[in-house]
Amino acid sequence: MTFRAIVVSFFLAATTLGAQGNPDWHREFPAFKIAGNIYYVGTADLASYLITTPQGHILINTDFKEDVPLIKKSVEQLGFAYKDIKIVLISHAHADHDEGTGLVRGDTGAKLMVMDADVPEEERSAPGRPGAHVDRVLHDGDTVELGGSKLVAHLTPGHTKGCTTWTMQVLEGGRTLNVVILGSANVNAGYVLVGNKNYPQIADDYVKTFATLKSLPCDVFLGAHGGYFGLKAKHEKLKAGATNPFIDPDGYKAYVADRNEAFQKERVRQQQGSGSGA
User: Cβ(151)–Cβ(143) under 8 Å?
Assistant: yes
Q: Which residue has the higher pLDDT, 228 or 15?
A: 228
- List, for residues 107-124, the tens digit of each pLDDT value: 999 999 999 999 999 999
- pLDDT winner (highest mean) among 17-21, 154-158, 270-274: 154-158
- List, for residues 187-199, the tens digit of each pLDDT value: 998 999 999 999 9
Q: Residues in the chain, how many? A: 278
Region 46-67 average pLDDT: 98
154: Cβ–Cβ under 8 A, 6 or more apart, which residues?
140, 141, 164, 165, 166, 167, 212, 216
Region 15-42 average pLDDT: 83
- List, for residues 234-253, the tens digit of each pLDDT value: 999 999 999 999 999 999 99
Region 197-206 average pLDDT: 96
- List, for residues 28-39, the tens digit of each pLDDT value: 999 999 999 999
What pLDDT does residue 275 have?
52
Whether the pLDDT of residue 61 is over 60: the answer is yes
CATH fold for domain 3-271: Metallo-beta-lactamase; Chain A (3.60.15)
* Sheet-wide strand order for 136-138: 32-35, 38-40, 49-53, 56-60, 85-89, 111-115, 136-138
Q: pTM of the prediction?
A: 0.91
d(CA 247, CA 258): 19
Residue 187 phi/psi, 5-degree rounding, is: -105, 105
d(CA 48, CA 46): 7
Q: How many CA atoms lie within 13 A of 39 on its CB side?
A: 23
What pLDDT does residue 23 have?
86
